[in-house]
Amino acid sequence: MSTADVAHDDHHHGAPTGWRRWVFSTNHKDIGTMYLIFAFCMLIFGGLMAMAIRAELIFPGMQLLSPDVYNNIVTNHALVMIFGAVMPAAAGMANWMIPLMIGAPDMALPRLNNLSFWLLPIAAFTLVTSMLAPYLLDFGTVDTGVNTGWTIYPPLSAKVGASMDFLIFTIHVLGISSILAAINIIVTILNLRAPGMTMMKMPLFVWTWLVTAFLLILVMPVLAGGVTMLLFDRHFGTSFFDAAGGGDPVLFQHLFWFFGHPEVYVLLLPSIGVLGMVIPTFSRKPLFGKTSLVISMAILMVLGLIVWAHHQYTIGMSLGTVTYFMIGTILISIPVGLMVFNFIATMWRGAMTFETPMLFAIGIILMFTFGGLTGVMLAVIPADMQYHDSMFVVAHFHYALIPGALYGLYAGVFFWLPKWTGRMYDEKLGKLFFWTNVGGFNLTFFPQHFLGLAGMPRRIIDYNVAFTEFNVMSSIGSFIFGISHILMLYIIIKCVKGQGEKATDQVWEGAKGLEWQLPSPPPFHTWATAPTVK
């Protein structure tokens, strides 16, 4: 059924058309599409900021930016990428695919779904305001923008101008959006499964989202509490984080990282779910050890909640405390390693083909594993004392998050584009995008490990001339990596315009007969009145 048919059908039933169709939409596919479009726009915005950072760092000395503007861009790059690009893109896929995978007519709370999306553009507006306000408006104070780093640690964040208040408001709006979306996903998965769809029959993608949604509900309120206390310190005379008034700035770090570390798994898990769909399809084998994957996700969730202070080894915690956090952090490598081996075992002796989604899936396994290895290095206290706040940390978390979160989303986009648009994308261009993107990514972030080990600090606008060569390589890589996304946009637009081959019922050859591919659910009317699935 084409978009025109749907619009005609909607018009026939008195449903809104034109812009109203989108603004007032309660349809999970429309909302999923809007999430994906919003996420791509924010990805480009955040990517331009990253390219500005790398353009500044290509040579020692100051090229383009002042230190305040540089720090402002570094802060906002992180916030835009996490809250604006990765989380909304994953939520878009969840909206599109979860009802289809569990045989539900839509999300359980469709109007809440609409609200949780439309809070995002509002938050994006206030975030951009906080970034640009000091240059556009005179607040009567010396406002330098939010130049605190994305971790917004006090006492710095207690002192900067009104931009920080915009940012605190933004974080509240984003938190509300995330929590509403998470509630909706949990309610949908637990209550709207088709008859006979038990929990263990659910596709891995649905499982990863169930865990992700619980994580979000557990950790978002802690961040909200932390930034609210910061707001009170700034305007209402409290001293939660002010040592002069008997407070402790380290308390903010604990509150922030209790959110910040599980947040990493919020970004990673949906992509692990995509891998659980892509790898079996192109290996033409059922997923290996699905039950163990689900169990290891649950273990990952529990461990992820109790290792937050490994981000704070240098603050002077007791030996017992840091030892606990070190052991806990190293234990996380067990469930993650188990997941990686499950995916490798799925591919083992399968009849593999290497379409674009599968290339991204294999790229994730190789590069994310490398990010995990550098993570174990950072987990070890004496080593981390040397690496802390160096470029090594930047290299590590980009190797965890770009392959672990972003590439999983790319794999999902190419995997489901034929389903979403009814057209096949251009496979040659898809492969070209993969190779330029991965080449640019590795050229950008691999040299940063050496810079960090040699002692180059992160978040600093200038550096010693000894670091020049690796910085030149890194900056050139970042331009290749950034520009490659124009190709991705072209591939998607071509597909949406209907310029590819028509997708068949069975898009990916060999996908049939896999244990996750369930028979089509019965027509809605036969089970709409049926008792809730227990």
Question: pTM to 2 decimals?
Answer: 0.92
Q: Would you state the structure tokens that stand for residue 166, as one six-digit string?
A: 């915009």
Cα 46 to Cα 17, 84, 496, distances in angstroms: 32, 8, 24
Instruction: Report yes or no on 187 lying in a domain.
Output: yes
Are residues 418 and 424 in contact, defined by beta-carbon separation less than 8 angstroms? Answer: yes
What pLDDT does residue 520 have?
46
CA 350 to the chain's CA centroid: 30
Instruction: Report yes or no on 491 lying in a domain.
Output: no
**Residue 133 belongs to what domain range?**
23-202
Q: Which of 39, 115, 117 is nearest to 84 (CA)?
A: 39
Instruction: Report yes or no on 228 lying in a domain.
Output: no
Are residues 334 and 295 in contact, defined by beta-carbon separation less than 8 angstroms? Answer: no
Contacts 24+ apart (CB under 8 A), 502-510: 502/422, 502/423, 502/424, 503/418, 503/419, 503/421, 503/422, 503/423, 503/424, 507/418, 507/419, 507/424, 508/281, 508/282, 508/355, 508/415, 509/353, 510/281, 510/282, 510/284, 510/351, 510/353
Q: What's the rounded Cα separation, in Å, for the pair 171 and 169?
A: 5
Q: What's the rounded Cα separation, in Å, for the pair 68 and 55?
A: 16
Q: How many domains does the chain contain in total?
A: 1
Instruction: Report yes or no on 463 lying in a domain.
Output: no
pLDDT tens for the 534 residues of the chain, in order: 444 444 444 444 567 888 999 999 999 999 999 999 999 999 999 999 999 999 999 999 999 999 999 999 999 999 999 999 999 999 999 999 999 999 999 999 999 999 999 999 999 999 998 888 777 766 555 567 888 999 999 999 998 888 999 999 999 999 999 999 999 999 999 999 999 999 999 999 999 999 999 999 999 999 999 999 999 999 999 999 999 999 999 999 999 999 999 999 999 999 999 999 999 999 999 999 999 999 999 999 999 999 999 999 999 999 999 999 999 999 999 999 999 999 999 999 999 999 999 999 999 999 999 999 999 999 999 999 999 999 999 999 999 999 999 999 999 999 999 999 999 999 999 999 999 999 999 999 999 999 999 999 999 999 999 999 999 999 999 999 999 999 999 999 999 998 888 988 888 865 544 444 444 444 444 444 444 444
Helix (H, G, I), strand (E, B) or coil at 342: helix
Instruction: Report yes or no on 334 lying in a domain.
Output: no
Q: Which of 202, 17, 217, 185 is nearest to 92 (CA)?
A: 185
Instruction: Report yes or no on 31 lying in a domain.
Output: yes
What pLDDT does residue 161 have?
83
Output helix, strand, coil percentages for the chain, rounded to the nearest 5: 75, 0, 25
Instruction: Report yes or no on 198 lying in a domain.
Output: yes
Instruction: Report yes or no on 213 lying in a domain.
Output: no
The 3-class SS string of 427-443 reads HHHHHHHHHHHHHHHHH
Q: Would you state the structure tokens that stand for residue 485, as one six-digit string?
A: 């996304």
Sign of the alpha-carbon dihedral angle for 453, 263, 433, 74: negative
Q: Would you state the structure tokens that stand for residue 412, as one six-digit string?
A: 């999902």
